[in-house]
């Protein structure tokens, strides 16, 4: 009887731990899922965790390519651009091939963090939009799915030492 009581107590203690592990595993799976699109910069496919940084090779900036099976509602923006208030949109497509506006980090801080996301309910800006747009950046980051982030250092500037420089 004592052995059964000990086993019951052990199960009672381990059950919450197993639930916590299950929740952790589900969250990790959601965070590491494969996005149905890629952002490719200078031959590097962006993982999207913000660790990649690219030094602009000239004042013309860095270009990216967006590809994949779900490229019909993707937005790429720079909330660090001095578009007070707002962000600089570099790419907005609803299914047609669009031109990617170069990422220069040309004003404001010397290193900018850029974001890309899918908007399955429709783009928050008009298709083909580039330039400064009044936005709610927190809204974009929370309503967009499969958000990817990376950094670009202005021409003549360096990437942060903590980044994965390309």
Q: Which of 154, 147, 125 minimizes the C-alpha distance to 33?
A: 147
Q: How far is Cα 83 from Cα 130, in angstroms, rounded to an integer?
A: 12
What's the number of CA atoms in the CB half-sphere (13 Å) around residue 134?
0
Give the sign of the dihedral formed by CA 149, CA 38, CA 42, CA 79: negative
Domain-wise residue ranges, the chain: 1-33, 36-165
Q: What is the mean pLDDT of residues 71-96?
A: 87
Question: What pLDDT is recorded for position 156?
Answer: 95
pLDDT tens digits for 91-146? 998 666 677 899 999 999 999 999 999 998 888 998 889 999 987 777 787 889 99
**Which two structure tokens, joined as six digits, stand for 50?**
């913000």
Provide the pLDDT confidence category of residue 33 given band limits of 50, 70 and 90: low
pTM over 0.85: no
Fold of domain 36-165: Phosphatidylethanolamine-binding Protein (3.90.280)
Residue 88: beta bridge partners?
Answer: 78, 132
Please report which helix (H) or strand (E) contains residue 151, including its range: strand 145-153
Q: Which of 89, 86, 88, 36 minimizes the C-alpha distance to 66?
A: 36
């Amino acid at each position: 009887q004592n052995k059964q009581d000990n086993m019951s107590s052990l199960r009672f203690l381990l059950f919450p731990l197993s639930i916590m592990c299950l929740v952790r595993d589900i969250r990790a799976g959601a965070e590491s899922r494969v996005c149905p699109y890629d952002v490719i910069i200078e031959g590097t496919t962006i993982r999207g965790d913000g660790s990649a940084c690219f030094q602009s090779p000239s004042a013309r900036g860095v270009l990216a390519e967006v590809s994949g099976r779900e490229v019909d509602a993707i937005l790429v923006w720079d909330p660090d651009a001095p578009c007070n208030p707002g962000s600089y949109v570099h790419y907005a497509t609803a299914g047609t091939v669009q031109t990617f506006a170069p990422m220069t980090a040309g004003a404001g801080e010397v290193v900018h963090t850029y974001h890309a996301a899918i908007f399955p309910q429709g783009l928050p800006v008009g298709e083909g939009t580039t330039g400064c747009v009044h936005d709610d950046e927190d809204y974009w980051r929370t309503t967009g799915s499969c958000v990817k982030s990376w950094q670009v250092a202005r021409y003549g500037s360096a990437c942060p030492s903590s980044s994965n420089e390309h």
